[in-house]
Amino acid sequence: MNLLEKSLQDDLRRFFEEDDLHGNAFYLRELPATPVECLLKIKSDLTMCGLPFFVAAFNFLGAKLDYHSFKKYEGVKMHEGDLIAFNLPFALALSGERVALNLLQHASAIASFTQKFSELAKPHGIKILDTRKTVPGMRSLEKYAVRVGGGYNHRFSQSDVWMIKDNHKSYFGGLKPAWDFFQKMHTHYQSIVVEIHSLDELAMAIDLGVEHVMLDNFSSAMIGQALSLKTKGMTYEISGGINLANCTEYFIKGIDALSIGALTHSAPHVDLSLKIKPLENRINRDSYEF
């Protein structure tokens, strides 16, 4: 078991409990363990992502799949009609199918969507960032998928990077007292990012020595003015309402990154299926009904 598989054990336990795998002991006992061929069929163009999770789901049930047999497909653009074949005992293939496919499909959707943004942004040297707008319990998978799709991870939690947002400023009474609060955390190597909502607030952040700012819902005109204020060593991240139709408007020299919540909360569906046949039928793949 590799380190990633080991780290997923608690999550996989919850996923299979949700599928009520333990609910009928007689059924589980009677499921045949005969080896079968499994065909993973790609039913829409996509960037394949999540195969370590897919393999781990079957191995959690006792399979002995080797991820290295699947590794060549991870992060690869695949097309409708492509197939990935592997063998499993029938009982494990049938019992693990839904959880494994759900993880793979979700990750592939995010990676495919992220790659569309990343390919547009790469020539301009601008990074595409995710956010914490992730499904509870799915953050590790979703942020992994963003990376596979060519994007970059923002923060993983509330405290791995301090981020001063509007609610902090509202509670503490403005940017300065909120900044002072986080300075008192005395985390020497931890960055502080400040969400900025106006040019006046940006000027204040620069006076405070803020290095990393997120310009939230800035118009094109405001971005131009903000860039004229940018000092050496600062990074500018743009956020708010960015989508595939308008992202090119933000590919401006001096912008370092775009953060896009839609990468994880609104990635369009991709289609995959898994079909199982006895090994003696494996050469007649035209008989599979997908």
pLDDT at 1: 78
pLDDT at 181: 97
259/126 same-domain check: yes
Judged against a pLDDT cut of 70, whether residue 184 lies above it is answered with yes
122/106 same-domain check: no
253/278 same-domain check: no
- CATH of residue 36: 3.90.1170.20
Confidence of residue 146 (pLDDT cuts 50, 70, 90): very high
142/87 same-domain check: no
259/272 same-domain check: no
277/255 same-domain check: no
Judged against a pLDDT cut of 60, whether residue 282 lies above it is answered with no
- Residue 180 belongs to what H/E stretch? helix 175-183
What's the predicted TM-score (pTM) here?
Answer: 0.94
103/192 same-domain check: no
Output the CA torsion 237→242→246→248 (10° steps).
Answer: 30
275/244 same-domain check: no
Give dist(CA 146, CA 152) in Å, integer: 7
SS3 238: strand
What percent of the chain is predicted at pLDDT more than 90?
A: 90
Q: How many domains does the chain have?
A: 2
Active site residue 133: yes
Which one of 43, 116, 133, 165 is the catalytic residue?
133
Which residue intervals of 61-174 are DSSP H helices?
90-121, 139-148, 166-172
Confidence of residue 49 (pLDDT cuts 50, 70, 90): very high
Give dist(CA 237, CA 127) in Å, integer: 9
SS3 155: coil
pLDDT at 24: 85
Judged against a pLDDT cut of 60, whether residue 50 lies above it is answered with yes
70/208 same-domain check: no
- CATH of residue 140: 3.20.20.70
7/46 same-domain check: yes
123/261 same-domain check: yes
Number of Cβ within 10 Å of residue 270's Cβ equals 24
Cross-sheet strand order for the sheet of 83-89 = 83-89, 35-42, 272-278
Phi and psi at residue 271, to the nearest 5°: -120, 130
Domain with 15 in it: 3-111+268-287
251/161 same-domain check: yes
pLDDT tens column, 93-115: 999 999 999 999 999 999 999 99
